[in-house]
Amino acid sequence: MQKKCSRCGKPIKEVGRLIKVSWLGFRAPLCSKCREEVKKKPKTRFSVSGLLNK
């Protein structure tokens, strides 16, 4: 079973380290693109509605 990025929903082939995601309150898998964005903006909260529209 493939993991999906918890932010954009893209399938992830290799799940690296789980990033602590502030808007979820736990560590979640992110694709490399989202991981870079989260590193740039660590304080940003992303919309939860975007996560629910999978």
Q: What is the pLDDT of residue 49?
A: 47
Domain count, the chain: 1
Residue 36 has which token pair?
């870079």
Per-residue pLDDT at 20: 64
The bridge status of strand 11-12 relative to strand 19-21 is: unpaired
Q: Classify residue 48: in a domain, yes or no.
A: no
In a domain, 51, yes or no: no
31: containing domain: 3-40
Is position 45 within any domain? no
The predicted structure's pLDDT at residue 54: 46
Whether residue 50 lies inside any domain: the answer is: no
Token pair recorded at residue 45: 């909260």
SS3 at position 6: coil
- Asked if the structure places residue 52 within a domain, the reply is no
H/E stretch holding 26: strand 26-28
* Three-class secondary structure of residue 49 per DSSP: helix
pTM of full prediction above 0.85? no
Which residue is associated with the tokens 């690296």? Answer: 16
Asked whether the beta carbons of 5 and 15 are under 8 A apart, the reply is no
- The per-residue pLDDT for range 5-50, each reduced to its tens digit, is 777 778 777 656 666 666 555 677 777 777 777 677 655 455 554 5
Does 13 reside within a domain?
yes
